[in-house]
Structure 1
Amino acid sequence: MSPVAVTGLGVMAPHGDQVEALFERLMAAESAVSPVFPDLPKPAAAATVAFDPLRWFTKLQLAGVDRVSQLAVAAADLAMTNARAAGTADPERIGVYAGCGMGGAAALEAAYRGNGRVPPLTIPAFMPNAPASHVAMRQGVHGPVLTYSVACASSSLAIAEAAKAVQRGDVDIAIAGGSESLIVPGVMLAWQAMQTLAGFEPGEAARAVRPFASDRSGFALGEGAAFLILESADRARARGARVHALLSGWGSSCDATHLTKPDVAGQVRALRQALRHAGLSPRDVGYCNAHGTATRIGDVVERDALADVWGADIDRLRVSSTKALHGHLLGAAGALEAVITVMALSQRRLPPNANCVSVDPACALNLVLQAGETAPQLEAAISSSFAFGGTNSALLFQRP
């Protein structure tokens, strides 16, 4: 069975829409988190995307297309261009596998605040499968077009399911990833009510998110979209495509213990499943792009899960959470972090675990604490996504 190749990468993210430039900004520990909505009762920060929809849509086309779908269309188009995949497969042999946690928040917010006037296209604008459908229409996809909505694991799981479809021969090309755009006052208030968002002093929003640090206080929301183009390595080779990485393993599990509190055993199952699928041992994997939400409980649970799986080799595993810099993209987090993991593997350079001045002893890991670190021997890397609802997803990449 031919391995699954990553032949295209596309992002529309807080650090921009060029994958290489985004990675350089992360390597330099440049934060995209800044204050938003100054009129809210409590200070709020988020990582937003500088996005001009008129690059991708006419004004007429924008009617009823929420920002979450606009971002998805742009990122998927960039991924297809990067893969040089357009026109290389029968439209019935192309699939879209998209993650989206909460759908079109801007459309819903506008409906709630419309003083009694609800736009007639509100429903198709905010339905969670709208981004996948818009990507399919833009790319002319006639194969499976599927949406996965499992909170923070949505796009990671979508990528895993796309890889399975490629391996089974269901599709020749999979456009896999996700999008999320929730930076609206109502959603921000809801997350603040959960007390999971990071607090910060005036002027300190950029370093508000501190994964694995002793003074961590939560995450900042982010928005954006990211897509990978997946196809069999044999097909990629035959058409002369560039292979960024091989997606060689994936694992998923459910905690089945609590809706919002993560569980070590559940995360361990997903991580071990990814390793088994790839035929690798823990010591073969040199870097983990951690879920790392900088919550008091979540970071400790993730550390304990990694320590359980890697055992005596835990100090060989370099770890960082890039959410400190681009925020938590929820349904799109797994896809953006998968792109970052592929770039780290390809360049053998490790993005830092930013803002962590003092590591919590309960989170003792071999963290990437300095900007600009290299990993000359890096051959395999893993990206983890652990969601509300108890769904865990892990993606394991190898150099081609």
Structure 2
Amino acid sequence: MSLFEIEAPPLRSHKYDQHEGLHPVCPHFRYCFIINKLSERMPVLNTRIGMGPGPQIPHSVGVGGMMDHQPMLRPSRGSGILPVQLPRKNPELMKLTDEAQSLRADSERLSREMTRISGELQHDYSDFTNSLRPPSDKAIARITQLGAKIVQLSSETRPSARDALVAGCKADAIALHNAFDSAHGTAKLSMERAAKEEVDITYDASQAETKEARARDIIVLLNDLISSQNRELATQRDRINTAMHAAKIAREARDEAQRKLDSAKSGRDLRNAFLGPLGDALDIGGLNSQINAAKGALNDAENNLSTAQQDYKSAEDAVNDARGEVDRINGYLPDLQNLRETFRRERTQFDTLHGKMHDFVNLCLDVAVFFGSLTAQSSPMQFVHTAKGLADMVLKVQGIVESNVKLAGPFLTAPDGLDATLKQIAQSTVPPGPIDELM
């Protein structure tokens, strides 16, 4: 039996008969049964749009073409996740970048200051040694001669010869005192200049330490910012995955709606071929309603797909922004780490200069004390009690000024044998002889 040979049973009532499938819109119309049978053979007419295989679309049509008139739950646009855009320029990153640039400028300034101070130190030290070297050479030579006289005095027994030797030793001591006193004045001036440079070094070293600590803090903050951006990056990747899934659902819904729309159009065309304008006017079988529902579902699916694609693009842009921020931060880290190392080297150099300055000042003071000790006549060697102590001081001065003349004789080879004779010279009432000044 073909579709068009189906015989309609007698009409029973105006009520909807589930067994016979009478249409409640027009119960006396003979072709209602045919249309219902046609609906049974075309699943699209009996299937709620969106309830078959594939994604569910909220539009629905009842059995026999009756609309279910349920509230239409339109799908949320796209993934349903509100875009969370990262700022194109992270304010915290900009602040840290500006501070890092300021630290670099400070580092350059401190480097220039360090170079200046170092140059002045070297210049002052050079002046110090150059000015003290000539009189030191003469003084060391005279000390060597004095040692020889002291040895001669210790073995001399003739009173007149002893007095002459004592007078000569005292004259040499006065000449040495005058020379060392002059050297002390020179050293004192250098020490006063060094005191100002020492203050500058101490201040700049403190500045370098403070800025190095801040550079370390910035590196920690940047690492924290990188971690935060990486977490945001993971969030944006999740958004991309969600948007991609929403786009897939929307495509499937669109394809299903399109398939049902095409099927409904085919059913409507077949109906109208049999019933003519009356079938279309009465919408027998609910085909027009189903077509409109399918069109609405397709439109919603297209909107969902468009929104999902926009969400995907938004998430992708956010991820790219986050990656850009991380790349920029990673670009700053080496600079800051190098800056920290620069500060560390500068601080080490400052400490070296600071220590050198202290040594310089202390050595100048030691030289002044030594020169002043040689002038003591009533209590010989008030600060340097022994010949060996005197020799040690002379050797120290000799090293400081890089003297050309080196200490020799008994002060170097047998200083302990000179102590008794030096005491006799200091206690002697013999006046000094003619003074041969060294300066």
Question: TM-score normalized by structure 2?
Answer: 0.18
Structure with the larger RCO, 1 or 2 (CA within 8 Å, 6+ apart): 2
Larger Rg: 2
Question: TM-score normalized by structure 1?
Answer: 0.19
